[in-house]
Structures are given as structure tokens and as C-alpha cells.
Amino acid sequence: MAVIRWFLGLIILAYEKLASPKGVQRDEAHQAQIDEEAKGLILYQYKACPFCLKVRLAMKRQSLNVETRDAKRSESAREELMAGGGLLKVPCLKIVESNGTETWMYESSDIIAYLEKRFDAPMAA
């Protein structure tokens, strides 16, 4: 079982390398503004989780530079996720609003829909 999981993980990481989109191009000022907004986001994830890959690719497509924390390898990330979100499940997007309000969003499709609504719609690169 562990070997199968390891092999699937390899496939997922290889797919990420091959399928990685270039990402939307923005002018410098606009990208800087998006980068600033993205500082309020943290993606809790596992490297080899297909649902996390789906979110990472969506972020790449939108050129969103979001901090990621590995909840499998890092005990502190796992503890943060459990304490904040309440579930040991990934992906989970921590959203901190400018007024300090925190939201812990689970479900890859919900996360992608949220990012597409909040940031510009992705365009072909």
C-alpha cells in the first residue's frame, strides 16, 4: 500500500511539472497589488494530494503567489490546521481579511471558485 501511495505521489508530482500552466501576465503594479492581497492567504496542503495539486495549478494559472504549508511533513502546520480549521483534511485555504477575520476554507472546488471570484478570472497564458 505504501509503495502504491509513493508511486501515485511520484505521478502527481511529475504531472505538476509537465502540466504547470504559465500563468496570467499582469503589469508590474497590478501583480504587486495581487501579491500584497495574497499575503492574507495560506494553503495547507500535502505535496502529493491530487486535490491540492488541482488548487496549486489553479493558483499558478492565476499567478497567485500564495504561501503553502505542508500539513503532512510539518507538525506545526498540522497543528495550525487542526486548531484553526478543525479538521485534518487538505487542501484548506486560510483566509485572513484586512480586518483580521479568519476563514478556513476546505474543498478544492470551493477554494478555486473563491480565488476565481476574488482575483481576476484566469486567461490563457
Ligand X SMILES: N[C@@H](CCC(=O)N[C@@H](CS)C(=O)NCC(=O)O)C(=O)O
Rounded Cα gap, residues 122 and 125, in angstroms: 9
Q: Phi/psi at 52 (nearest 5 deg)?
A: -70, -40
CB of 38 to ligand X, least distance (A): 20
- Can you give the binding site for ligand X, defined by CB under 6 A? 46, 49, 51, 88-91, 107-109
Q: For residues 91 and 122, which CB has a smaller minimum distance to ligand X in the complex? A: 91
CB of 72 to ligand X, least distance (A): 8
CB of 45 to ligand X, least distance (A): 9
For cell 471570484, the residue is 117
Query: Which cell numbers hold the place of 100?
Result: 483580521
